[in-house]
Amino acid sequence: MTSKSKVLVSTVLPSDLLARIEAEYEVAQFPSSHVFTADSIGDHSDIVGWLTTVKQPVNADILSQLPSLTTVSNYAVGYDNVEVGEATERGVQICNTPGVLDNAVAEVAVGAILSSVRGLSRAERFVRAGEWAGGNAFPLTADVHGKVLGILGMGRIGKRIAPVAQALGMTVLYHNRTPIAGVVPGDATHVSRSELLERSDVVLLLVPLTEETKGFIGADDFAAMKDTAFFVNPARGALVDEDALIAALQTGVIAGAALDVMTIEPLPASSPLMELDNVVLLPHIGSATVETRRAMADLAVDNLLDSLAGSQPRGAVNNPSVGAPA
């Protein structure tokens, strides 16, 4: 009897999906909170596949300890936890879960826009604190209708948000390095980065996190925005100079922000963001629905099994056979 090759699963999967993997491979399963290092991966140096999350670094040090590894399937659309170039050179296929979480993230982004501009989170706290019952009036906020939404990074998620914003009466601007050909959803207009910052009442960040985009938004960008503008980030915390954002919120350089992501997650209780009333703080819930997480798990398992079987995975990030992006 031939022994099965070994696969490492660093997250909790539905039982039927885990069974699909176990039908073909020996599985070692760990929760996503268990983060391996180059020194602690030794017992699993024989793995051929790894299904993991963005909490797990997959860097040169880790990869050097995994000579049999051929596939890493990220249970996420992001893959900033992976040194893709290093993996490609080593012949390791990297996969992610694009597309299946676009609607869920778009919903949270629209909710964050409404919550920041209309003060919904502040209003809820106002009621719970007994201010309304005490005869106080909640301060007036601003209309969303008639405002300008600027999308930095018009990709799949932005294309879902733009028509919703248009339906709410917003004018939509966007900035990509290369303008989109043809009609853009929401009648969005391509403008320069500087024009978008200057004109927008809400700046929505949807740029993927790479080595090139770390610190993509900083003090100069906040200074270029209107002092009545709101900044919304459902993408990645490391895209933003968080200290600069905190300073901008504290000093009124911008009116407010809504964040589903932060530089350190979970957000420490000691973070100055916790003390600010003009920021909406969410616990990284962009993809956190039953339906979306199931779809992500389905695709992550499909990617893993397809790649290990020698087929092209739907969520391929790179192409190790030619040493280039997929």
- Tell me the HSE value of 278 on the side-chain side, using a 13 A CA sphere: 19
Domain hosting residue 302, numbered range: 6-100+291-321
Q: Considering only CA atoms, give the Rg of the chain.
A: 22
pLDDT in tens, 175-215: 999 999 999 999 999 999 999 999 999 999 999 999 899 99
DSSP 176-220: -SSPPSSPPGGG-EE--HHHHHHH-SEEEE-PPP-TTTTT-B-HH
The pLDDT of residue 1 is above 80 = no
In a domain, 326, yes or no: no
Residues 21 and 107 in one domain: no
Q: Report the distance separating Cα 218 and Cα 223, nearest Å.
A: 9
The pLDDT of residue 58 is above 90 = yes
The pLDDT of residue 324 is above 90 = no
284 is catalytic: yes
- The first and second tokens of residue 310, run together, are 């020698």
In a domain, 32, yes or no: yes
Q: Which of 265, 275, 291, 294 is catalytic?
A: 265
Backbone dihedral region for residue 310 (phi beyond 0: left; psi -120 to 50: alpha; all else: beta): left
Residues 61 and 109 in one domain: no
Q: Which of 44, 122, 160, 236 is catalytic?
A: 236
pLDDT in tens, 166-175: 999 999 999 9
175 is catalytic: no
Q: Which of 156, 284, 293, 314 is catalytic?
A: 284
In a domain, 1, yes or no: no
Here the CATH number for the domain that contains residue 152 is 3.40.50.720
What is the total count of domains within the chain?
2
3-state secondary structure of 64: helix
In a domain, 286, yes or no: no
> Alpha helices of the chain — where are they, by DSSP H?
15-22, 60-64, 84-89, 102-118, 120-128, 156-167, 193-199, 219-224, 242-251, 290-308
Q: What pLDDT does 3 receive?
A: 87
Closest to 31 in 3D by CA, of 1, 15, 54, 9? 9
- 279 DSSP β-pair partners: 257
